[in-house]
Structure 1
């Protein structure tokens, strides 16, 4: 059972049990629709994961992982306490818009910089910002009835919350373009077959499948897993020589630790 529950945001629940932290999008009445204040809270959570936490699981309460952005943000009335997109566009120039979107992106990109391994547990559906939050994780586990969709293009927009890079790296340019341009549903079995999802399980067994993966991660020595995440993340964009140097540096540090600092 998870302990030490906190609510850093009205729509976010955080529970920690030893080396495992579970971050739950907790707005089930709105299908975990996301807002800028939630993104700020997610960024803060990613940056403040304590050293003793080795794995973070991100999941959604209720019937779905996340239906994406709360579209009320785009209405004249907006959402109380949140930035109004219509007002932002009407009264701010391109530089202010760029700064605003950059701040939103941190709720997603900060998880890649988090030393702990991050697992997205997806059930129901992950649409738009929900899909991009799943992509922000290091690993993804989905229920068999889950599905993913990038619906931004159908609204005349593009995915802008850090999801385009991971999607292209996972499934390739052509398939990523097709998924985003059509906005179609990608079922969990298809997502698994194309390498978008690491594991799938019946909905009733999703928790078991997720925490089985978590336990396998925890069974490996902590320093090696932490070094591995940073090393493989860098491999996505680093040139050959830079990556080889990163491998040498990581391995040297691990060898020194294993040998009790005897290596000079």
Structure 2
């Protein structure tokens, strides 16, 4: 996978780790149509590269993303609601492809969020499998503040992550959730100072990239599928997946390493 530079997004490869970088810092990474398409294309490029074993989604500048580019929306409204609706429809179409693609990636996706994490930025952060937050991060949906409803999968993710009542409060009241509260609620798995965000994210990505790829893909698949399945279906899926793992080299390596009391070396055998 070559490094790509679509508008507003950078895609870089560092060994087995792919970095998708939101890159409109002068606009606080506000989402516009080129950036939406860049995000979609970056996720698709990662999906096409089987050598990627972990993904980081992060930002340049002090803010993860302030949401949609409201100044652009305001300019479009000068030409009438139809022009604005048409462009927003294309933006939503692109970012929804990206969100679906993140969920479908077999490898873990880690979000690194600091500063403002608003609107679609919040939705994108919640779509990641794991989230590391800087201690200056502030999460807010903010859609109601401009008279619209959420996108980016937040209405699917947030009730599952927060419960219905907390999700409704987040969406209706637009009260910011700070980094420590996000950690307590389970939205983030770690909180670090802003200067340590990239280092912490890289360390987590390296740990996951060195792990058993097939097993991690199975864990992600099973847990996401279980959100919408009953217990018998989940039990059957777990059995099928476990037996699939038993015949793979990573299982033999993990069992052998445990028995020998040494670190496992996944992906370096067979």
TM-score with structure 2 setting the length: 0.84
* Equivalent in the alignment of 2:4: 6
> Aligned pair 1:235/2:226, yes or no?
yes
Root-mean-square deviation (Å): 2.6
Shift of 1:156: 1.5
What runs of 5+ residues in structure 1 fail to find an aligned partner?
A: none
Q: Within 5 A, what are the aligned runs for 1:247-258? A: 247-258=238-249
Deviation string, structure 1 residues 116-139 (Cα, Å, up to 9, x no partner) = 211110011110011111111111
Deviation string, structure 1 residues 167-207 (Cα, Å, up to 9, x no partner) = 11111111111111111111000110111111101112112
Q: Determine the C-alpha separation between the residues in 2 that align with 1:38 and 1:29.
A: 13
Q: Determine the C-alpha separation between the residues in 2 that align with 1:78 and 1:61.
A: 29
1:188 aligned residue (168, 174, 179): 179
SS in 2 for 1:6: coil
Q: Within 5 A, what are the aligned runs for 1:115-134? A: 115-134=106-125
Deviation string, structure 1 residues 5-49 (Cα, Å, up to 9, x no partner) = 420x12111111111011101110100011233223322322331
Q: Within 5 A, what are the aligned runs for 1:83-162? A: 86-88=81-83, 101-162=92-153
Shift of 1:245: 1.9
Residues 177/241 of structure 1: CA separation in 2 closer, same or farther (3 Å cut): same
Q: Determine the C-alpha separation between the residues in 2 that align with 1:102 and 1:236.
A: 24
Deviation string, structure 1 residues 34-68 (Cα, Å, up to 9, x no partner) = 12332233223223311111111011111100111
Deviation string, structure 1 residues 119-166 (Cα, Å, up to 9, x no partner) = 110011110011111111111001111111010012221112211111
SS in 2 for 1:58: strand
Residues 202/101 of structure 1: CA separation in 2 closer, same or farther (3 Å cut): closer
> Aligned pair 1:37/2:34, yes or no?
yes
* Equivalent in the alignment of 1:54: 53
Whether the 8 Å CA contact 2:17–2:206 is kept in 1: the answer is: no
Whether the 8 Å CA contact 1:39–1:106 is kept in 2: the answer is: no
Whether the 8 Å CA contact 2:55–2:107 is kept in 1: the answer is: yes
SS in 2 for 1:116: coil
What runs of 5+ residues in structure 2 fail to find an aligned partner?
A: 253-270
Q: Determine the C-alpha separation between the residues in 1 that align with 2:90 and 2:76.
A: 23
Shift of 1:236: 1.2
Shift of 1:4: 5.5
TM-score with structure 1 setting the length: 0.86
Residues 207/102 of structure 1: CA separation in 2 closer, same or farther (3 Å cut): closer
Higher helix share: 2
Q: Determine the C-alpha separation between the residues in 2 that align with 1:23 and 1:212.
A: 16
Residues 201/85 of structure 1: CA separation in 2 closer, same or farther (3 Å cut): farther
Whether the 8 Å CA contact 2:33–2:90 is kept in 1: the answer is: no
SS in 1 for 2:67: coil
1:165 aligned residue (139, 152, 156): 156
